[in-house]
């Protein structure tokens, strides 16, 4: 009787022990980088896609995975609205645009259809996009994450083998509070943070002055506080917005643009850090 009790308590202990997750790599790519933001609307998707093409400009073969199941933005950002095909009815062939292989939930559902899914459905969709897409011969896949620290972040952090994460923020205090949460989540789940990017850092007026609309140095200081690399500033620039709206990201349509050069600097740091 007492032996049985001991046995049961062992099982209980095992159940309660922290789970060891098996991290599955995304096949067909040498590297997987998450571009994340703790808050919505800070320009994460814009930065992710421009960074992807800045890496392509450095000679890398890129893939872009839009992991925002509820609010996919890739179809608009590269003006692509086809349905991915499948040869065996199981694995999806990624779409191709501007020599980038692309996958997004937005390719699979109608643009107007709201995604009213619960967590487990999102996790299952993410598993399809990370394990059942025939990515081929990529140097790097840039994953555009949804904002926050929810199901998608946890799924990637615990179940997908990722090589690093980049956190995008604006320099205002409100956004930075969430950034700190994001940093801690990646640190706790063992995902290497490659660095922080300060988006919408300033607006350069016709008078040549830089106007720091969202404050100054906030992201840089947060990087210092948590001992992370600061990767660079991206200003508010109309061409970034308009190129995104046209479906041809600035770093692709105009690699010599002053803002594309800032992305190039960041891409070089990322390339050096692990590729
Ligand atoms: P998020 O992915 O964080 O929700 P988006 O990338 O969708 O943000 O950007 C929100 C809006 O801000 C978009 O209209 C985008 O074109 C614009 N935007 C983002 N970053 C910049 C920037 N640095 N300069 C100008 N517009 C920007």
- Dist. CA 166–CA 164, nearest whole Å: 7
| Nearest ligand 1 atom, CA 168 | 3
> Can you say whether residue 256 is alpha, beta or left, with left for phi > 0 and alpha for psi between -120 and 50 degrees?
alpha
Task: Output the CA torsion 208→239→264→134 (10° steps).
Answer: 170
Q: What pLDDT sits at residue 132?
A: 93
- Dist. CA 74–CA 202, nearest whole Å: 25
Number of domains the chain contains: 1
> Per-residue pLDDT tens for 13-31?
555 444 567 889 999 999 9
> Per-residue pLDDT tens for 230-268?
999 999 999 999 999 999 999 999 999 999 999 999 999
Atom 14 of ligand 1, residue of closest alpha carbon: 241
| Cα of 200 from ligand 1 centre, angstroms | 8
> Per-residue pLDDT tens for 156-209?
888 899 999 999 999 887 667 788 888 988 998 889 999 999 999 999 988 989
| Cα of 240 from ligand 1 centre, angstroms | 8
Please check whether residue 6 lies inside any domain of the structure.
no
| Cα of 22 from ligand 1 centre, angstroms | 34
Q: Are strands 203-204 and 210-211 parallel, antiparallel or unpaired?
A: antiparallel
Say which CATH number the domain at 112 has: 3.40.50.300
> Per-residue pLDDT tens for 75-120?
999 999 899 999 998 899 999 999 999 999 889 877 667 666 777 7
Please check whether residue 197 lies inside any domain of the structure.
yes
Atom 9 of ligand 1, residue of closest alpha carbon: 43
Please check whether residue 3 lies inside any domain of the structure.
no
Give yes or no for a contact between 235 and 203, defined as CB atoms under 8 angstroms apart.
yes
| Cα of 237 from ligand 1 centre, angstroms | 10
For Cα atoms 130, 136, 142, give the angle at the middle one, nearest 5 degrees. 55
234 lines ligand 1 (CB under 6 A): yes
Q: What pLDDT sits at residue 260?
A: 98
Q: Which domain holds residue 58?
A: 22-274
| Cα of 19 from ligand 1 centre, angstroms | 37
Please check whether residue 2 lies inside any domain of the structure.
no
166 lines ligand 1 (CB under 6 A): no
Distance between alpha carbon 122 and the CA centroid of its chain, in Å? 16
Please check whether residue 158 lies inside any domain of the structure.
yes
204 lines ligand 1 (CB under 6 A): no
For 217, the token pair is 């140095």
DSSP string, 217-274: SHHHHHHHHTT--EEEEE---HHHHHHHHHTS-HHHH-TTSHHHHHHHHHHHHHHHHH
Please check whether residue 54 lies inside any domain of the structure.
yes
Please check whether residue 17 lies inside any domain of the structure.
no
Please check whether residue 7 lies inside any domain of the structure.
no
């Amino acid at each position: 009787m007492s032996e049985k009790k001991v046995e049961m308590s062992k099982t209980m202990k095992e159940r309660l022990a922290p789970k060891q997750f098996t991290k599955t790599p995304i096949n067909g790519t040498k590297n997987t980088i998450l571009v994340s933001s703790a808050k919505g609307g800070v320009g994460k998707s814009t930065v992710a896609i421009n960074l992807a093409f800045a890496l392509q400009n450095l000679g890398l073969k890129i893939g872009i995975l839009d992991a925002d199941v509820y609010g996919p933005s890739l179809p608009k950002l590269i003006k692509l609205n086809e349905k991915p095909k499948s040869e065996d009815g199981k694995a999806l062939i990624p779409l191709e645009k501007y020599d980038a292989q692309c996958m997004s939930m937005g390719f699979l559902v109608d643009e107007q259809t709201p995604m009213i899914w619960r967590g487990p459905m999102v996790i299952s969709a993410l598993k399809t996009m990370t394990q059942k897409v025939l990515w081929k011969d990529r140097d790097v896949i840039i994953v555009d994450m949804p904002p926050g620290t929810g199901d998608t972040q946890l799924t990637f952090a615990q179940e997908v083998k990722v090589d690093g994460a980049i956190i995008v923020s604006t320099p205002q205090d409100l956004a930075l509070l969430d950034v700190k949460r994001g940093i801690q989540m990646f640190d706790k789940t063992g995902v290497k943070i490659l660095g922080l990017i300060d988006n919408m850092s300033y607006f350069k007026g016709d008078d040549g002055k830089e106007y720091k609309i969202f404050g100054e140095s906030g992201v840089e200081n947060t990087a210092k506080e948590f001992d992370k690399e600061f990767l660079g500033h991206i200003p508010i620039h109309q061409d970034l917005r308009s190129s995104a709206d046209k479906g041809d990201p600035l770093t692709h349509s105009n690699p010599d643009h002053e803002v594309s050069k800032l992305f190039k600097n960041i891409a070089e740091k990322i390339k050096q850090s692990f590729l």
